[in-house]
Amino acid sequence: MTHPIRRAPVPRPGPGRRRRRAASLGAALAALTLGLAGQFTAHPAAAAENHVDNPFAGASFYVNPDYTAHVRTSAAQTSDPGLRAKMRKVGRYPTAVWLDRIAAIGGGGEAAGRRSLADHLDLALAQKRRGQPITATFVVYDLPGRDCAAQASSGELPLTQAGLDRYEREYVDAIANVFKKRKYRDIRITAVIEPDSLPNLATNTADPECARAKSSGIYVKGIRYALDKLHALPNVYTYLDFANSGWLGWDGNLAQSVQLYTDVAQGTAAGPASVDGLVTNVSNYMPLEEPFLTDPDRTVGGNPVKSSTFYAWNPDFDESDFTRDVHRALVAAGWPASTGMVVDTSRNGWGGPGRPTAESTSTALDTYVAESRVDRRTYRGLWCNVGGAGLGRPPQAAPSGYPDSHLDAFLWVKPPGESDGASTDVPNDEGKAADPMCDPGYAPPGAGGNKTGALPGAPLAGQWFPEQFAMLVKNAHPAVRPGGGTDH
Ligand code: BGC
C-alpha cells in the first residue's frame, strides 16, 4: 500500500451527465440467471433478496475468527489486565478478509492459520441471525503489477498480459465461482476493489511502473473485469477504493480521479450501475474529523489554514470532508445520489496522549496547525505502521452525523494489528519487498526532513505485529470500553 501526496494538473472538463440503468433490473436478471444455473427449484429467484441500496443497513457484520485468534494471542501475552480486556473486546469486532493472493481463495486450512473463502462464507452463514441480514467484506487485491508506486505490497502477478489472464481466470473467476454458490445467496457480500490502484493511475504516473500500469491498460481492464463478474451477482456489493483525503483531496486530483472512475465505470457491461459505492482511507490514518480545524479558509496570521505546510493547499483535512466532496463531485459527473461512501476507520482514531484538547491560540500558522490537529503525523504522506496512531470508530452501519457524506458504513477494512510493510528484505513468495517508508530512520522527500515515524521491527505487510496492535488499542479514540457490549 502506498499513499503518496502528489498534486496533479487540473484535468479537462468532466463528461456530461449520463443516465444509469436501474440497478434493480440488473440484479433481477442476474438473480434469474443464477437461479437457473444453480440447483433446480420450482421458484429459482423467489427467495433471493433484492439488491438493496445500503447493504450494511439493518445487517450484522461477519467477525473473522482468524482475526480473533491473532488478538487472543496478543491478549494472552499482555500483563496489564485493563489493556488485555480491551484487546479481547477488539477481537470481537468485524474486520475485512483480504484476498491478497490466489492462494487466499483456497486457504491453507485451519492448521495453516488461514481459512478459505468458502470457509469464511460458511462461518458467516453460521453467524447469521434468523431474520437479520449479514454482511461479509472481502478485499479484492491482486492486480497485476500491484502497488505500483511502492514496494511493501507488491504482488504475485506481473504487469503483463499473461498476468492479466491469470488475474481474470485464476483470481476473479475463482472468487466469483465461490460467491455465486446458491447457499451463500443470503449473505450480503461486499467487495472492496483494488486499494490504491486507480488513485495511482490518477496521480502517480511519474513512477515508471505506474506509468506502465496506465499505458498498458492492465489496471483498468482488470478492475472492469472484476466489476463485471461481481456486479452480475445480486447479493454482491462493489465498493471501489478511492484513496483518502491526504491523497486525492486537492481540487485538481479530485477532478482528475472522478473523470477516471467515471470512465472506468462506463466501460463495464452495466455502466456505473456496476459500482455500489466508494471506500476511502483503506489502510490509512486520516482522521474522520479534525475537531479543531473545521474551516480550511479561516486565516491565521493572515493566511488560510489550508496553506499551512501540513495541508499544502489541500482543503480536505479529514475523511468526513473528503467523502462529502467525492460524493458531490461524482454526482456532478452523472453518478446517482444513491452511490454510497464507506470510510475505513480501523486506525484513524488518534487518541494518544498527544491528542489536543482545544484549538491552538498561536498566531503562527504552522504552529497553530501543529497544535490543533489530532493527526499527529509530521507529514500526511506517511503511511507505514505509523507511530502514535490509535483505533478509530468501531464498524457501524449508516453512521449519522455526516449527512452530506452519504455514508453507508464505517468499516475496519485494514485489520488493526496487521503490518503495513517491512523495511528489510524478508524472503517470501508473495512478491513483497522492503520499503523505505517502513524504515523509522528514513526521511522521505516532502516530509520536511522528518523521519517516517514508522514503528521499528515490523514484519511483512499483512502479518501480525503485536507491538502495533497494543499501541492502536491504547490510543483508540473513542476509547475501547471492555464489557460495553459490541458497538456495531
Ligand atoms: C498487504 C496484504 C494484507 C493487507 C491487510 C496489505 O498491505 O499487502 O497482504 O492482507 O495489507 O493486512
| Confidence bin at 113 (pLDDT 50/70/90) | low
**Banded pLDDT at 303 (limits 50, 70, 90):** very high
Mean pLDDT across 351-379: 97
The grid coordinates listed for 402 are 455526516
CA distance 412 to 483: 20
Q: Find how far residue 209's CA is from the centre of its chain.
A: 22
Identify the burial level of 396 via C-beta atoms within 10 angstroms of its C-beta, where 0-12 means exposed, 13-18 middle and 19 or more buried: middle
Lowest-pLDDT choice from 24-28, 310-314, 366-370: 24-28
Instruction: State the pLDDT at residue 1.
Output: 59
pLDDT at 345 over 50: yes
Q: In the predicted model, what is the mean pLDDT of residues 17-46?
A: 34
Instruction: Give whole-number Cα distances, 21 to 27, 49, 316, in Å.
Output: 11, 19, 32
Q: Which of 95, 97, 99, 100 is the pocket-test mutation for ligand 1 (most atoms within 8 Å of CB)? A: 100
What are 190's three cell numbers? Answer: 461486499
What pLDDT is attached to residue 18?
Answer: 29
432-481 tens-digit pLDDT: 999 999 999 999 998 999 999 999 999 999 999 999 999 999 999 999 99
User: Which range is least confidently modeled, 5-19, 200-214, 325-339?
Assistant: 5-19
Which H or E run contains 148? Answer: none
> Over the chain, what is the mean pLDDT?
90
Which pLDDT does position 82 carry in this prediction? 97
Assign 180 to helix, strand or coil: coil
303: DSSP letter: E
DSSP letter string, 119-135: HHHHHHHHHPPTTS-EE
Estimate the crossing angle of helix 466-474 against helix 81-90, to 10 degrees: 100
CA distance 320 to 318: 6
- What's the mean pLDDT in 65-82? 97
Per-residue pLDDT for 6 more than 80? no
**CA gap 409, 405 in Å, rounded:** 11
Q: What are the tens digits of pLDDT across the range 159-208? A: 999 999 999 999 999 999 999 999 999 999 999 999 999 999 999 999 99
Is the per-residue pLDDT at 26 higher than 90?
A: no
Q: Are strands 277-280 and 303-304 parallel, antiparallel or unpaired?
A: unpaired
Nearest-Å Rg of the Cα atoms of the chain is: 22
Are 246 and 315 contacting, i.e. CB atoms less than 8 angstroms apart?
no
**95 alpha carbon to ligand 1 midpoint, in Å?**
12
Report pLDDT digits (tens) over 153-173.
999 999 999 999 999 999 999
φ, ψ at 444 (rounded to 5°):
-75, 150
Rounded CA-CA distance 6/211 in Å is 14
- The angle at the Cα of 71, spanning 69 to 77, to the nearest 5 degrees, equals 110
* Closest residue CA from atom 8 of ligand 1: 153
The answer to whether 454 touches 382, Cβ cutoff 8 Å, is yes
- Smallest CA-to-CA distance from 233 within 62, 55, 41, 409 is with 55
Give the tens place of pLDDT for each residue, 50-66: 999 999 999 999 999 99
Name the residue with the closest Cα to ligand 1, atom 5. 462
Q: What is the pLDDT of residue 33?
A: 33
DSSP type of residue 363: S
If one counts every other C-beta atom within 10 angstroms of the C-beta of residue 47, the result is 12
Q: Is 415 in the pocket of ligand 1 (CB under 6 A)?
A: yes
Residue 146: CB within 6 Å of ligand 1? no
Ligand 1 near 224 CB (within 6 A): no
Q: Who has greater pLDDT, 83 or 36? A: 83
Whether the CB-CB separation of 261 and 59 falls below 8 Å is answered with no
Here the cell at position 382 is 506517511
Q: What DSSP letter does each residue of 14-65 carry, written as one string?
A: PP---PPPPHHHHHHHHHHHHHHHSS--SSTTTTSPPPPS-TTTT-EE---H
Find the mean pLDDT for residues 74-102. 98
**Which set of grid coordinates corresponds to residue 53?**
441500496
- Please check the confidence at residue 361 and state whether its pLDDT lies above 70: yes
What average pLDDT does range 300-322 have in this prediction?
Answer: 98
Task: Name the one residue in this structure whose C-alpha cell is 449519522.
Answer: 400
Q: Residue 45: pLDDT above 70?
A: no
**Given ligand 1 and candidates 95, 98, 138, 428, which is best to mutate, with the most ligand atoms within 8 Å of its CB?**
98
Work out the angle at residue 347's Cα, subtended by the Cα atoms of residues 390 and 65, and round it to the nearest 5 degrees. Answer: 105
pLDDT of residue 276 exceeding 90, the answer is yes
Whether the pLDDT of residue 342 is over 80: the answer is yes
Least confident of 2-11, 74-83, 91-100: 2-11
- CA-based max dimension of the chain: 74
The alpha carbon of 232 is separated from its chain's Cα centroid by a whole number of angstroms, namely 22
User: Which grid cell sits at 145?
Assistant: 503489477
Q: Say what the pLDDT of residue 48 is.
A: 74
Task: Give the mean pLDDT of 118-147.
Answer: 98
pLDDT at 24: 34
pLDDT, position 453: 95
Specify the range with the lowest mean pLDDT, choosing from 43-52, 312-321, 479-488: 43-52
